[in-house]
Structure 1
Amino acid sequence: MAEIIEDVVNSSREESGYVVIDVRGHDEIQSTGKLNDVVVTLPLPYIAQGALSMDEEDFKEAFGFEKPRLDETLVFSCKAGIRSQQAGQLAKMAGYSNILDYMGGSNEWFS
């Protein structure tokens, strides 16, 4: 995960091809902080409600960042790996095929 985040930091989301998404709730992220400034927040309930199937404009208005393109690699993280795995399954159902799951989550990252 550190290498992926470093890649995004040193180039950009567009150049690296990675979108690192934290699926924890805003309250959880507030208590620990973000994994890194390049990590975007999209809580799992929004993904379950179809966020990744929204059109680009509505998505950006709702979540404050560009909707991931189907050719980008989505890297999901949560607290311990359960929700990030679910997010990956939901992303596949929304048409994404390049999906990574950071199983260690914020528990591992901040320890």
Structure 2
Amino acid sequence: MASVQPASSLRQCLRTISTSTSRRAITCSSPSSTIRLSLPRRRLASSQASQASPCLPPQKALDRGHSMPRLRQPKRHFTGTRFVARNEQTPSSEPQPSTLYTFADMQSLTSHPAPNRVIIDVREPSELKSTGKIPGAQNLPIKSAADGFFLGPDEFEERFGWEKPTAQDEVIFYCKAGVRSRAAAGLAAQAAFGGKISEFPGSWIEWAEKGGEVEKVEE
């Protein structure tokens, strides 16, 4: 019976080996001898990995220490459609800057009037009656009659009493201090009022201070 005990103990150790995964070496003892078995390291590592993550599939448990590469999202390129559209305007579509006249220029123009040149005072009629106007100037009050820039020729003449400038005419705007004349030049450009658009920035204040000739306006 003593010779049978080692074999029986060996079989018991083998069964223990097949079910044990947490020890690198297993020691089997019997009354007559001690048997020490070592498990292969690769197999033991696989067993430890499978036990470390019992809820994950074996392949995922082995790959646990390695992070999956992140997929790079494609970069978004935003196009400024509105911005491009504004900058695609041709130079011909942009309003041309006004020609600016000095006091000396205006004196020369009033001394030598031309049929295709129209000087326009954009102040209110009451202001013209109070101070007078530059000789030969027409009145188109921008504050009370800004729609006049957009009227047809017949309606314009009926309303204001003088012919509406055409594309062959130069229009020269002035007011009291140059602010309203600047606005009138902008409206004229939008409404295609006249051809060449010009301004007298010094306007009535400079004209009166420097002794320009004054044409009185009757009631």
Does TM-score exceed 0.5, indicating one fold? yes
Match in the other structure for 1:60? 157
Q: Give the unaligned 5+ runs of structure 1.
A: none
Q: 2:110 corresponds to which letter in structure 1?
A: I
Aligned twin of 2:188 = 91
Partner of 2:206: 108
Q: Which residue of 2 is the match for residue 76 of structure 1?
A: 173
Query: 2:171 touches 2:197 (CA, 8 Å); kept in 1?
Result: yes
Q: Secondary structure at the match of 2:204?
A: helix
In the alignment, which residue of structure 2 is the partner of 1:2?
107
The alignment covers a number of residue pairs equal to: 103
Pairing partner for 1:18 from 117, 132, 137: 117
Alignment partners' CA distance in 2, 1:85 and 1:24: 12
CA contact (8 A) 2:173 2:185 kept: yes
Which whole-Å deviations, capped at 9, do the CAs of 1:24-70 have from their partners, x for residues lacking one? 0111111111111x110010135532x12211111111000011112
Answer yes or no: is 1:34 the counterpart of 2:162: no
Written as runs of structure 1 = structure 2, the 5 A alignment for 1:46-57 is: 46=144, 48-49=146-147, 51-57=148-154
Query: Is 2:121 the partner of 1:43?
Result: no
Provide structure 2 residue ranges, at least 5 long, that are not aligned to the other structure.
Answer: 1-105, 210-219
Larger radius of gyration: 2
- TM-score between both structures, scaled by the size of structure 1: 0.85
Q: Secondary structure at the match of 1:45?
A: coil
Greater relative contact order, per chain length (Cα 8 Å cut-off, separation 6+): 1
Question: When the two structures are superposed, what TM-score results if normalisation uses the length of structure 2?
Answer: 0.45
Is the 1:47–1:87 Cα contact (8 Å) retained in structure 2?
no
Q: Distance in 1 between matches of 2:186 and 2:132?
A: 25
AA at the equivalent of 1:100: S
Q: Separation in 2 of the partners of 1:105 and 1:43?
A: 14
- Structure 1: distance between partners of 2:131 and 2:143: 20
* Residue 89 (structure 1) shift: 0.4
